[in-house]
Chains A and B, each alone.
Chain A
Amino acid sequence: MQVGHLTNIQRDNIKYLLQTHTQIKHFKTLPDDFAKGIGKGQVIENVLNSVDEGKIDFEEFKSWLALHQINGNNSFYVYELRTHTVTEGMLRNLQTYIGSITYDITGCSVDNLKETVLVNFFLNVEEKRGIFTFLSPATVMKKVRMDNTVQYIPEKQIYYANVIVDYGLGWLIVSINPTTNMISVDNNEKNKNGFEPIANYYLVKMRDIIGEFTIKTPNWVPQALDLLAEEGTHHNNPEITAEYMKAIPCIEDTVVQLLSDFELDDPSALAYVSEEFKLAFESVLIDKYGVNEEATCSFRVFELKGDQHNSVVYVGAKVGSLNEGRVAKVAKATRANADLTQLGIEYNRENDTYRFYISLCDDYYLIKSNSTKFTNEGVIRDVIIKLGEYKEQIQSIAIGKSTD
Chain B
Amino acid sequence: MANIKNKFNLSPLASQRINDFITSLRPNDTISSSLFARKTGLTIDFAKMVLGELVADEIMEYYIIVPCSNPIEDAEHYVVFFSLEDLNHCSTEKKCAVCDQCGHEFDAINAKFGYRRRVAENNNG
Contacts and interface: CB of A to CB of B under 8 A. Distances in A.
A309 B47 contact: no
Contact of A308 (B30, B44, B49, B80): B30
Residue among A309, A395, A401 with max Cβ neighbours from chain B (10 Å): A309
B43 A268 contact: no
B116 to A, nearest CB: 9
A100 to B, nearest CB: 39
Q: Which 4 A-B pairs have the closest CB atoms?
A: A400-B46, A309-B114, A271-B24, A309-B30
A399 B65 contact: no
A223 B37 contact: yes
Given A268-B24, A268-B29, A309-B31, 9 more contacts: A192-B70, A222-B34, A226-B38, A267-B24, A307-B32, A362-B110, A395-B43, A400-B49, A403-B45
A312 to B, nearest CB: 10
A402 B33 CA distance: 13
Main secondary structure of the interface of B (DSSP, over half): mixed
A268 B14 contact: no
Given A191-B71, A192-B72, A268-B24, A220 B44 contact: yes
A399 B72 CA distance: 40
A86 to B, nearest CB: 23
Contacts of B44: 219-220, 402
Contact of B65 (A226, A309, A402, A403): A309
A397 B65 contact: no
Contacts of A267: 23-24
Interface residues of A, number: 30
Given A192-B72, A271-B23, A362-B110, A398 B34 contact: no
A310 B114 contact: yes
Interface string B13-40: 0100000000111110111101101100
Interface residues of B, number: 34
A223 B26 contact: no
Given A271-B24, A310-B65, A192 B73 contact: yes
A272 interface: yes
A401 B45 contact: yes
A223 B34 CA distance: 8
Contacts, number: 79
Interface in B41-100: 41-47, 49, 65, 70-73, 80
12 contacts: A191-B71, A192-B71, A192-B73, A220-B44, A267-B23, A269-B26, A272-B26, A309-B31, A309-B32, A339-B32, A400-B45, A401-B43
Interface in A258-290: 266-269, 271-272
A338 interface: yes
A337 interface: yes
Nearest to A275: B24
B32 A402 contact: no
A402 B43 CA distance: 6
B41 A398 contact: yes
A226 B32 CA distance: 15
A267 B19 CA distance: 11
Contacts of A268: 23-27, 29, 117
Interface string A334-359: 00011100000000000000000000
